[in-house]
Each structure stands twice: as structure tokens, then as C-alpha cells.
Amino acid sequence: MIPRYSQGQISKIWTDKNRYEIWFQIEVLVCEKLYIDKKISKKDFLQIKKKGKVDVEDIQKLDRKTHHEVIAFLNSISKKIGKSARHIHQGITSSDIIDTAFSIQLKQSSEILIKDITQLLKALKTKAYKYKKTICLGRTHGIHAEPTTFGLKIAGFYAEMERNLERLKKTKDDISICAISGAVGTYATIDPSVENFVAKKMVLKPETMSTQIIPRDRHANLFSIFGIIASSIERIATEIRHLQRTEVREVEEFFSKNQKGSSAMPHKRNPILSENLTGLSRFIRSAVMPMMENIVLWHERDISHSSVERILAPDVTISLNFALNRLTNLISNLKIYPENMKKNLDLLKGLIFSQALLLVMIDKKGMERQKAYNIVQKNAMNVWKSKKSFLETIKEDKDIRGILSDSELSKLFNANNYLKKIDYIFSKIFGK
């Protein structure tokens, strides 16, 4: 991932140094179990544990000769250990350490992303409660529909992101897998007790059935969840982008003192953070299909998945980490304009109350539904063409005036009527 989107903690997970150190840790644990089982001496085990050191430059230098990264790693480590190194990698295969290490890297990354989502949830909850009863327009098809509250919008994002958190937690456990089963996964050259030992030490679960590799449906599932999280991020970003449009301007991204908008038009204050999140989300989702395709490998193993994972696993997790943190800051510092929400609420001259009128004509006055609908719609369409408000228009309709008084009509045209169940909805989302 390019430095622009890379944050320190998660980026370190995907460095060659970290990966090689995990490889060595796995190799040491295998040797420890062999020592416990009296298959290698204490002297040899301690020599391996103490003398083995990861030298990234040396490994990469050897890799250019061997064209086999694991062999290069083993040769580099062995040079430092000496004769005792003959016990390293005993009975196991490259995939055993590569795949188990990959599981650890994905687990480490997921743990960071879980923290990121947890922080985002806190920011969303704070905003939701602050604007719980701040009335704004609900829009369907981009058109003014009926009143809602801005807090309720945010609460909806919270509920969605909370589901994402639970999905990621579950999937993190599903990917926290250890496979130490030897060539083609038969345990012919390594006892299953070694796998169980390594798994316990590294807080992983033994793979139920490996071929020679951990089955890639686990990884595809994880990246599918990443894709869903990215889509949730984009949904929030898209909402902010729409609400920041000049003619709407109900919210606005924080604009710092020395920040610049357009290079040509100094007046511009663009929703660049939301647009950036939209782009990052598209990239993250693009990884889902290649990871799905990685499920289909030849027989017990091939390496067609390897290049895909080397590129996408770091870039996707790093991008998602960046996006979640950016979104948290965006939500925390988002500027809200209730006065513009009120102004936009009034733009359609009361048409947003058409359903309220329709329902009272049907439910309380007993009018046949289709007749009531036709009457309300006729008056509503007239408002689009006239300068009169909806209330003024319907007061001139004899079919409506014959069944509804002025006071009854006025009561319908009150946005506060739409707040009645807000507390109930919040209790469903946040608990009582």
C-alpha cells in the first residue's frame, strides 16, 4: 500500500520482517514439541531457539538465487544456528508455516479493524443521541418524502456497523487457523499433536481438514466481510456527499483554517474526505472476487492464490484501517446545520404531509381508499404548479372541507408528529 494510506501499526503486520519472524516462531514451536516428545535434544532445541535470527536482507538475497522464499529463509536461519538447524522444518512443508503465519497476520489485522469499528461506533452513537430529535427530511429516490430525524439517520448507520462488527469478530475466529499437517495434509511425516501444540501456543484452532494448505473459503469469507464493511462506509460517505451539496447543505465536512478547496475556485469547500472514502471502498470491494477465485486450486495445492494474497491482503486491510479511522474523524467533526434542515423541510409547502392527510381521511373519516388517494393526489399535483401551500390548497377542496375542520387539518401539518416512536427505535438499536 502507498504511504499516503498506510498507518504504522497495521502496516508493520505485513512487513517481510514480521512475516519471517512469525515463520521462525512457528518453526521454534514445532521444535519445542519435538523436544518435549524427546525427538530432539534439549541442547539442539535451545540452540535453535537462541541462535536463530531473522535477517531480512540475507533471506531476500538467498531468495534471488533459490527462487524459493521458504528455502531461502531456512538457509539463512540455519547459518546462524549451526549443526542443530538440521531439526528445523522436520516433517513439515512450506505451506504449514506460510499458511499458519498468514492466519496470524489476518488475525492481527482483524483485531485492529475490530478496534477501529468500535471507535467508529462510539462516534456514531454520540452523534445519534445529540441529534436524536433534530427533524430533517427523509428522502426516497432522492425526492422529499416525510420527516425523520438526523439522529435516526445516524442510528441506522450505527446498527449497520454494529452488525459488521459482529460479522468481523465471528470471521476473525474462523480465520484464526493453524495447519501443521505435512505434504498433502496426511500427517504422514508429522504427528497431529504438533499441530495441536502450535495452535494452542499461538491461540489458533487446528484446521479441520487441510489438503496441504488451509482451504481458501475461510479467506474468501473474511474478504467478503471486508467488502461489506467497505460498502457500509461508502453508504455513510454517499449520504454526507449528498447532504453537503450547496443546494442542500444540511451537513458539511469540517474545513480547517488553512485547508484549500479548488485550485481554481477559492470559494469551494468540497466533501473530499467522503469522496476519498468512496474510492477506497470501491478498491476494497474489488478484492472480494479474486479471493473467491482463490478457493479453486488444483488438487491438494498450487500457488495461483499466492500472488493474489501477497498483494491484496496487505493493501485491503491497510486501506480498510485507514478508511475506518478517516470515517470516525469525519463523523466526530461533522458540522450539522439544523436551520437548513428546517428550510428544506418547508420547500414543498407542506406536501410532505400528504400521507398524514390520506390516512386520516381513510381511518378516521371512513372514506374509501382509492377515492381518498385521488383527492389528495389531485391537490398535491396542484401545489407543484401553484404558489399556494398544500394546506391552503386542501382548504379550498370541498371534498376535504366537508369532513375535516381547520383545527384537524392544522394538527396534521406538524413535523413533531413523526417523533412519537423515535425513543422506541433508539431502544431497539442501543438498548434501554
Name the residues annotated as catalytic. Answer: 141, 262
Strand partners, 139: 144
β 205-206/177-178 pair status: parallel
| Dihedral, 125, 128, 132, 138 alpha carbons, nearest 10 | -150
For 118, counting Cβ atoms within 10 Å of its Cβ (0-12 exposed, 13-18 middle, 19+ buried), the class is middle
Specify the residue for cell string 469469507.
221
What is the CB neighbour count within 10 angstroms for residue 370? 9
Give Cα separations from 314 to 15, 104, 150, 171 (angstroms). Answer: 9, 13, 36, 17
Q: Which of 223, 201, 205, 227 is nearest to 214 (CA)?
A: 205
End-to-end Cα separation, the chain, in angstroms: 43
Q: What is the C-alpha to C-alpha distance for residues 373 and 376, in angstroms, rounded to an integer? A: 5
| DSSP conformation letters of 59-120 | HHHHHHHHS-HHHHHHHHHHHHH-GGGGGTTTT--HHHHHHHHHHHHHHHHHHHHHHHHHHH
Q: Which of 177, 402, 419, 222 is nearest to 312 (CA)?
A: 222
Q: Which of 14, 15, 216 is nearest to 106 (CA)?
A: 14
Q: What is the C-alpha to C-alpha distance for residues 356 and 416, in angstroms, rounded to an integer? A: 12
**Are 97 and 23 within 8 A, CB to CB?**
yes
Q: What is the C-alpha to C-alpha distance for residues 104 and 108, in angstroms, rounded to an integer? A: 6
Give Cα separations from 340 to 35, 80, 251, 332, 348 (angstroms). Answer: 72, 69, 9, 20, 14
